[in-house]
Amino acid sequence: MVIKIKVDIEDEKVLKLKVEDLEVGTLNSIRRYIIGQVPTFAIDSITIYDNSTYMFDEFIAHRIGQIPLKTPKKYKGDEEVLFTLDEKGPKEIKASDLRTSDKYVQPAKPDIHVFTLGEGQDLRLEGKAVINKGRKHAKFQSGIAAYEINKDGTYEFIVESFSQMSPRDVLLKAVEFLKQDVKEFEKQLK
């Protein structure tokens, strides 16, 4: 049986496919790998040196950790990228205000509002971005995926990227990691 895939929609955020002759279990495995197994960069630890805002350090760290970061293909998993922020209020802080040590790993959505500093408020911090998977924490999740079973037995499969990489790259990486795990499983059985 030959699997048939037709691209219905593809842009920088969404990939929608029509899939025929594929078992639903396989499709669901791919969906689960998209959600939990595709590695991406996220700011994982933050050191706050100066915080005269009304916000707790933990709140600031959580907000910054949720900013999606571009994750280029060349990175393998042991890299660290430093981000800094040194701002004085009054100012609206956006993702683009974070300074990075790597020009390829930037906030994926520079206009994300992070918080607003009031008059006389200062914030100075340093964060470290690492690569990990969505199964560790949602901030590392590359996207979401869903499928719908049509009456004729075909499937509508949708991949939505959280902007760290294209939805096609998210899908291809998920399939690559699924294949690696199946090969390892087979090797362990022998």
**Structural domain boundaries of the chain?**
4-38+142-189, 40-134
Q: Classify residue 69 as exposed, middle or buried by CB count within 10 Å of its CB (0-12, 13-18, 19+).
A: buried
Joined tokens for residue 55: 């916000």
Tens of pLDDT, residues 108-162: 999 999 999 999 999 999 999 999 999 999 999 999 999 999 999 999 999 999 9
What pLDDT is stored for residue 58 in this prediction?
A: 97
What pLDDT is stored for residue 163 in this prediction?
A: 97
Tens of pLDDT, residues 7-30: 999 999 999 999 999 999 999 999
What pLDDT is stored for residue 190 in this prediction?
A: 86
CA distances from 63 to 2, 17, 52 (A): 46, 33, 17
0.75 exceeded by pTM: yes
Nearest to 132 by CA among 67, 59, 178, 71: 71
Residue % of the chain over a pLDDT of 90: 96
CATH superfamily of 40-134: DNA-directed RNA polymerase, insert domain (2.170.120.12)
> Cβ(157)–Cβ(19) under 8 Å?
yes
What pLDDT is stored for residue 78 in this prediction?
A: 87
Domain 4-38+142-189 belongs to what architecture?
A: 2-Layer Sandwich (3.30)
Q: What is the dihedral of CA 111, 114, 119, 124, to 10 degrees?
A: -110
What pLDDT is stored for residue 77 in this prediction?
A: 82
- In this model, does residue 1 exceed pLDDT 80? no
CA distances from 144 to 26, 31, 103, 188 (A): 16, 8, 26, 30
Stretch 47-51: mean pLDDT, rounded? Answer: 98
Spatial separation of the C-alpha atoms in residues 51 and 57, rounded to whole Å: 7
Residue % of the chain over a pLDDT of 70: 100
Q: pLDDT band at residue 76, thresholds of 50, 70 and 90?
A: confident
The rounded mean pLDDT for the chain is 96
